[in-house]
Structure 1
Amino acid sequence: MDFDKLKQDIIEYSKEIGIDKIGFTTAGTFSEMKNRLLRQEMLGYQSGFEEKDIEKRVDPSLIFDGPKSIIAIALAYPSRMKNAPQSKRGERRGIFCRASWGTDYHHVLRDRLSKLEDYIKSRVPQAQFKSMVDTGELVDRAVAKRAGIGWSGKNCAVITPEFGSYVYLGEMITNLPFAPDEPMEDQCGTCNKCVDVCPTGALVEGGQLNAQRCIAFLTQTKGFLPDEFRNKLGNRLYGCDTCQTVCPENKGKDFHNHWEMEPDPEIAKPLLKPLLTISNKEFKEKYGHVSGSWRGKKPIQRNAIIALAHYKDETAIPDLIAVMQNDVRPVIRGTAAWALGKIGGEEAGKALQKILAQEKDEEVITEIHKGLEILSGDLKQL
């Protein structure tokens, strides 16, 4: 078997099925990433969503029998929304990050990887594969970097010369011995914009992220958002793009190569108030196809309440009062109490006082007191 010829054929076929970039690397241990992950664990910087076994994250032989090489793929996604609706008084809107626009990228990349598997299998019937996207054991960024897809930026994203960091990544471990491509040299240089502007200081330094402080992670948590991050959230409902939008390598990068990734403006930038009372069925029907829905509606609703507080949207006061009176979830009731305090006004104050006399949950009571303190001027910032 001429594997060099097969490699070139795979590269050509990948273009036919909508893979924007492809690279090949060895199946050896990712030693540099192992050291980085061990340090992340020691510092408590992990998100908790990752594979717990660090050895499996860096050693392909622990998750695949007899690996010979890894194929990495990248698909570019849009950075600009066509016909984006405007947020205005009484009709304030939140925003999903760009990586959650369109159809869930896990499905899109798995489709491309599946087609690639079928093609290779047709050429080499004894070929074996293990494909993964984001939720697999291996670190996508480490594979993509070593396969020459791009370099690992200071914002912890893989940056490609062609598409910037606006790319989804996936990989396929195989038992076929493809020649590896050359990794790309780091091109961030002295630029430190992403580190400097990170809203919460989650980028501790170039290439090191404290996920516990990252807004992209925080928007996916289900409990009360810690006080120090509430004023940093803005109108973000899911994810954060700040470290990408400031990157000079992303300037002018906006690719609409895949119809599945085109955002529905009313989903990617939805009205906030309707989110407060959306049912589980309605949420699944409207948002279930986007990656930002994977944690369910609760984090999105909590973030929508915080966004209304960010806007100081007085028209939302009746909606927030109704949430406090009717919602059975303490996190949602408590966040609404805090938001009422941030928005302010006599109506909000009276409602908080009235509900305080009825509320039984201690955490919600604490949030009501926060709201009242903000209203009274004793606590200006949280």
Structure 2
Amino acid sequence: MNVLTLQQQVRDYAISIGIDKIGFTSAAPFIDLKRLLKQQQELGYQSGFEEADITKRTEPTLLLEQAQSIIAIAVAYPSKMVDAPQGKKGERRGIFCRASWGIDYHTAMRERLALLEQFILEKVPTAKLRSMVDTGELSDRAVAERAGIGWSGKNTNIITPEFGSYVYLAEMITNIPFESDEAIGDQCEDCRLCLDVCPTGALIQGGQLNAQRCIAFLTQTKGDLPDEFRTHLGNRIYGCDTCQTVCPKNKRKHNLIHEELFPDPEIAKPLLKPLLTISNKDFKQQFGHISGAWRGKKPLQRNAIYALAHFKEEEAIPLLEEVMTTDERPVIKGAAAWAIGKINGEQSKAILQRALIDEQDAYVIEEIHKGLLFTQ
């Protein structure tokens, strides 16, 4: 079969199975990306979640023998929640970022990639294919940019003309020599809204991110959250959308297209207090199907505690005291102590002073003292 004919058939089939955009590029090395990644590594800007071997991230031929091209795909996800519940005193709510509103995007993308692989193999039984989503070696964004899916915005997200930056990305390396699509030129121009509003200054300059300061990364860490970032969390319990919500290119991009990606409002904006004592079983049952659950409940519980402090939720102090005195995890106990002080209710000082009498963990004791400083 003629490659161009096959390529068009692949495009048509991709749209029929719920892929919103597809592009093709060569399997040539990503030379500019290699330079950028080395710089990020030297500056300590990486998150640690990515593939450590820069060569694997930038040379597709190392990942698939005789690789000649890469198929990039994008699936749009919603940016608008219908009938979103409103938090109120006594019933404060947290928020998951939009990328975690529906079913886990790894599942959604892998299902589509599997169908696409099957389709290609039916047409070309000898084809070699290797697909990956997010956790693969290649940079989804670099592949998508070169394949014409969108351009790399100053917020480091791929921005598509059709769906804004609210798209999931994935790719498939193949030995089929598909014709490359043209890249889309930068359309951010002199806009720098995302840089100006980043809560923690994680966006160093257009297209460069210090992941160690990014709230989206920080909400996923399992350990202690440095003091300087705690008040910046707001009510975010997983991820951060600030650099996307302010982007002019995302205006009126609601993307209510795929039902499996629609948010369950009670999951996407959960009540905070029940999260603090949720069992592992209930957590898995309620949140296990979303990508925001991948690190387990501990980071989300810590973030929920800081969110209660953000709201100055005095009604939560008895529950926070219970967590501080009965939970066995120092990070959670310490977060509760800090939050009790930050809320600074009538009983906060006495509660923290009592806790000091029996507490043995040095970290928790330090957090109690931090909490007491708020009550002076």
TMscore range, shorter length: over 0.9
Question: Which residue does the alignment assign to 1:224?
Answer: 224
Which residues of structure 2 form unaligned runs of 5+? none
Structure 2 CA distance for aligned equivalents of residues 254 and 373 of structure 1: 44
Structure 1 CA distance for aligned equivalents of residues 187 and 202 of structure 2: 22
Structure 2 CA distance for aligned equivalents of residues 89 and 346 of structure 1: 17
Structure 1 CA distance for aligned equivalents of residues 233 and 15 of structure 2: 39
Question: Which residue does the alignment assign to 1:8?
Answer: 8
Amino acid at match of 1:165: S
Question: Which residue does the alignment assign to 1:343?
Answer: 343
Question: Which residue does the alignment assign to 2:286?
Answer: 286
Which residues of structure 1 form unaligned runs of 5+? 377-382
Q: Are 1:130 and 2:130 matched, yes or no?
A: yes
Amino acid at match of 2:118: D
Question: Which residue does the alignment assign to 2:314?
Answer: 314
User: Residue 342 of structure 1: CA displacement?
Assistant: 0.6
Structure 2 CA distance for aligned equivalents of residues 195 and 325 of structure 1: 41
Structure 2 CA distance for aligned equivalents of residues 4 and 209 of structure 1: 38
User: Residue 277 of structure 1: CA displacement?
Assistant: 0.1
Please give the secondary structure, in 2, of the residue aligned with 1:357.
Answer: helix
User: Residue 62 of structure 1: CA displacement?
Assistant: 1.1
Question: Which residue does the alignment assign to 1:380?
Answer: none
User: What is the correspondence of 1:228-243 to structure 2 with a 5 Å cutoff?
Assistant: 228-243=228-243
Please give the secondary structure, in 2, of the residue aligned with 1:170.
Answer: strand
Question: Which residue does the alignment assign to 1:180?
Answer: 180
Question: Which residue does the alignment assign to 1:260?
Answer: 260
Please give the secondary structure, in 2, of the residue aligned with 1:74.
Answer: strand
| TM-score between the two structures when normalised by the length of structure 1 | 0.98
User: What is the correspondence of 1:299-310 to structure 2 with a 5 Å cutoff?
Assistant: 299-310=299-310
Structure 2 CA distance for aligned equivalents of residues 114 and 250 of structure 1: 29
Structure 2 CA distance for aligned equivalents of residues 373 and 246 of structure 1: 35
Question: Which residue does the alignment assign to 2:118?
Answer: 118
Please give the secondary structure, in 2, of the residue aligned with 1:78.
Answer: coil
Question: Which residue does the alignment assign to 2:203?
Answer: 203
| TM-score between the two structures when normalised by the length of structure 2 | 0.99
Q: Structure 1 vs Structure 2: percent identity of aligned residues?
A: 66
User: Residue 61 of structure 1: CA displacement?
Assistant: 1.1
Runs of 4+ residues over 4 Å off in structure 1: none
Amino acid at match of 1:324: M
User: Residue 223 of structure 1: CA displacement?
Assistant: 0.8
Amino acid at match of 1:243: C
Structure 1 CA distance for aligned equivalents of residues 255 and 345 of structure 2: 45
Structure 2 CA distance for aligned equivalents of residues 206 and 359 of structure 1: 46
Please give the secondary structure, in 1, of the residue aligned with 2:173.
Answer: strand
Structure 1 CA distance for aligned equivalents of residues 235 and 345 of structure 2: 21
Deviations along 1:180-215, whole A, 9 cap, x unmatched?
000110000000000010000000000000000000
Please report the RMSD computed on the Cα atoms of aligned residues, expressed in angstroms. Answer: 0.5
Q: Are 1:101 and 2:101 matched, yes or no?
A: yes
Question: Which residue does the alignment assign to 1:59?
Answer: 59
Structure 1 CA distance for aligned equivalents of residues 15 and 140 of structure 2: 20
Question: Which residue does the alignment assign to 1:143?
Answer: 143
Amino acid at match of 1:176: I
Structure 1 CA distance for aligned equivalents of residues 136 and 289 of structure 2: 20
Q: How many residues align?
A: 376
Amino acid at match of 1:354: R
Structure 2 CA distance for aligned equivalents of residues 256 and 74 of structure 1: 15
User: What is the correspondence of 1:164-175 to structure 2 with a 5 Å cutoff?
Assistant: 164-175=164-175
Amino acid at match of 1:50: E
Question: Which residue does the alignment assign to 1:249?
Answer: 249
User: Residue 325 of structure 1: CA displacement?
Assistant: 1.3
Please give the secondary structure, in 2, of the residue aligned with 1:364.
Answer: helix
User: Residue 24 of structure 1: CA displacement?
Assistant: 0.2
Structure 2 CA distance for aligned equivalents of residues 111 and 175 of structure 1: 21
Please give the secondary structure, in 1, of the residue aligned with 2:39.
Answer: helix
Structure 1 CA distance for aligned equivalents of residues 156 and 204 of structure 2: 11
Amino acid at match of 2:352: L
Structure 2 CA distance for aligned equivalents of residues 264 and 347 of structure 1: 36
Question: Which residue does the alignment assign to 1:354?
Answer: 354
User: Residue 346 of structure 1: CA displacement?
Assistant: 2.7
Structure 1 CA distance for aligned equivalents of residues 302 and 345 of structure 2: 21
Structure 2 CA distance for aligned equivalents of residues 188 and 348 of structure 1: 48
Amino acid at match of 1:136: G
Structure 1 CA distance for aligned equivalents of residues 372 and 254 of structure 2: 45
Question: Which residue does the alignment assign to 1:73?
Answer: 73
Deviations along 1:80-126, whole A, 9 cap, x unmatched?
00110001000000000000011000000000000000000110000
Structure 1 CA distance for aligned equivalents of residues 348 and 264 of structure 2: 34
Question: Which residue does the alignment assign to 2:212?
Answer: 212
User: Residue 35 of structure 1: CA displacement?
Assistant: 0.6
Deviations along 1:214-256, whole A, 9 cap, x unmatched?
0000000011110000110000000000000000000000111
Amino acid at match of 1:264: D
Please give the secondary structure, in 2, of the residue aligned with 1:331.
Answer: helix
Amino acid at match of 1:188: C
Amino acid at match of 1:340: I
Please give the secondary structure, in 1, of the residue aligned with 2:66.
Answer: coil
Please give the secondary structure, in 2, of the residue aligned with 1:307.
Answer: helix
Structure 1 CA distance for aligned equivalents of residues 177 and 17 of structure 2: 23
Please give the secondary structure, in 2, of the residue aligned with 1:7.
Answer: helix
Structure 1 CA distance for aligned equivalents of residues 101 and 346 of structure 2: 39
